[in-house]
Amino acid sequence: MKLWSGRFGKDTDALVNDFNASISFDQRLYREDIAGSIAHAVMLADCGVISREDAEAITRGLEEILADVEAGKIEFSADNEDIHMNIEALLTARIGDAGKRLHTARSRNDQVALDFRLYVREQIGVIRDQLLDLEETLCRQAERYQAAVMPGYTHLQRAQPISFAQHLLAYAQMLSRDITRLEDCRKRLNQCPLGSGALAGTTYPIDRWQTARALGFDAPMDNSLDGVSDRDYALEFLSGLSILMAHLSRFAEEIILWCSWEFKFIELDDAYATGSSIMPQKKNPDVAELVRGKTGRVYGDLMSLLTVMKGLPLAYNKDMQEDKEPVFDAIDTVEMAVPVFTAMLDTMTVLPENMRRAAGRGFINATDCADYLTKKGMPFRDAYTAVGRLVAVCSAQGKTLEELALEELKAVSDLFEADVYEALNLENCMALRNSWGGPAVAETTRQIAAIREFVSRQRT
């Protein structure tokens, strides 16, 4: 019999029963549901709404149910629709009338809003810790390759010299922002909807501050209608995860490029690559490709929830039961993707000789050549044109800039002297890019230290 069967003259149709039920997916909220119910019961007793004995029986009963769920002893049932009614029914079966008093001054609407907030809050912490591990791995790899010159690209065309460290650290910076974005979401999320009731608060003398504090919130939400109606925290969380996945997907794309024969800047560890069923020579970057691919599902999760919420009148509507699966899916996807991605980066072999070889072709020191002339007094725009002419000469002859003889250089500008070869040396070009945030070793050293400080601050 349904908890709410009072006004009904018939049993629920079996199809409706299955269609309506959310227990298959919301059972993962059991811990949050029990924590919320205990805080609620204790508050009800403190406010004199239920007796102390009832609150104690409820607390004990819920703690036993929690232990039994964790021990795998409990089978939830679709007949009880969702996690909230499953647990309430279990409790009442165990402790009788006290269990029936738990739902005083509460509704499933504020209950589910609470459980979901608690769950998202918890997972923000889990994901943050995973991202911090990834940042540490990036710092470790970057530290080893601060002097490794590689071509930096724009339009996927070789552009200017950078180091492999500089490239990895760019992603570390993005991840730091992903973390602080989730933190911002957590701050706004951390207000307690419990006590909003179905939508209009309650006539009982409850203490919303007490339950809010007991559950680690900064305050109760200020408007009961808002408390049960909005899922903006879940949308914000999914947006944060979508942006994170966008970053990982770009990184994954580069990993895929870098381990191709065309680049060969890195080689993945055998444990983090896969073979082909037909081509014996293949070693495929499936992990990176799946991270790139799974980005699509996380974006989809965000779009699903945005679409569910759009156009819903206040307050609760059953549509909102559809909030959970996209959020759970995004959490599961991110929490699987990040550690495997970290391990893949941690174990990859970096091939700095190949990066250096690639850097040698493509005129990535052309800007430095123009800067050389500019520093000798030529206006930059003229220097730019002069070097453009040199690049044309080189292209016709299959040479690099530094392979031109001094007379050939002088034919374009008599400002060129023998010291130009030093200015064109790629290691020098990179070392001299020591402006704030640049690839020079002193700058990547500073960045690594700053990122490590961020990581340790986050961990405390």
Kindly report the number of other CB atoms within 10 A of residue 157's CB atom: 10
34/320 with CB nearer ligand ARG: 320
Among residues 226, 234, 235, the alpha carbon closest in space to that of 110 is found at: 226
Instruction: Output the six-digit token pair for 447.
Output: 């960045």
- Contact between 384 and 370 under an 8 Å Cβ cutoff? The reply is yes
Name the catalytic one among 276, 277, 304, 456. 276
26/443 with CB nearer ligand ARG: 26
133/325 with CB nearer ligand ARG: 325
22/176 with CB nearer ligand ARG: 22
Measured distance CA(342)–CA(136) in Å, rounded:
9
Least distance between ligand ARG and beta carbon 327 (Å)? 11
37/210 with CB nearer ligand ARG: 37
Residue type, 249: S
- Contact between 192 and 162 under an 8 Å Cβ cutoff? The reply is no
The residue ranges that bind ligand ARG (CB under 6 A) are 22, 26, 82, 108-109, 112, 316, 318, 320-321
84/433 with CB nearer ligand ARG: 84
- Contact between 238 and 287 under an 8 Å Cβ cutoff? The reply is no
- Contact between 201 and 220 under an 8 Å Cβ cutoff? The reply is no
**Does the bond joining 315 to the residue before it have cis omega, within 30 degrees of 0?**
yes
Least distance between ligand ARG and beta carbon 44 (Å)? 20
- Whether 276 is a known active-site residue: answer yes
Least distance between ligand ARG and beta carbon 316 (Å)? 5
Least distance between ligand ARG and beta carbon 277 (Å)? 43
Name the catalytic one among 155, 167, 242, 277. 155
Bridge partners, residue 160, by sequence:
152
Least distance between ligand ARG and beta carbon 82 (Å)? 4
- Whether 242 is a known active-site residue: answer no
Least distance between ligand ARG and beta carbon 3 (Å)? 11
What are the residue ranges of helices labelled H in 30-96? 30-46, 52-70, 83-95
Kindly report the number of other CB atoms within 10 A of residue 247's CB atom: 17
Residues 6 or more apart whose Cβ sits within 8 Å of residue 325: 25
- Contact between 122 and 28 under an 8 Å Cβ cutoff? The reply is no
Active site residues: 155, 276
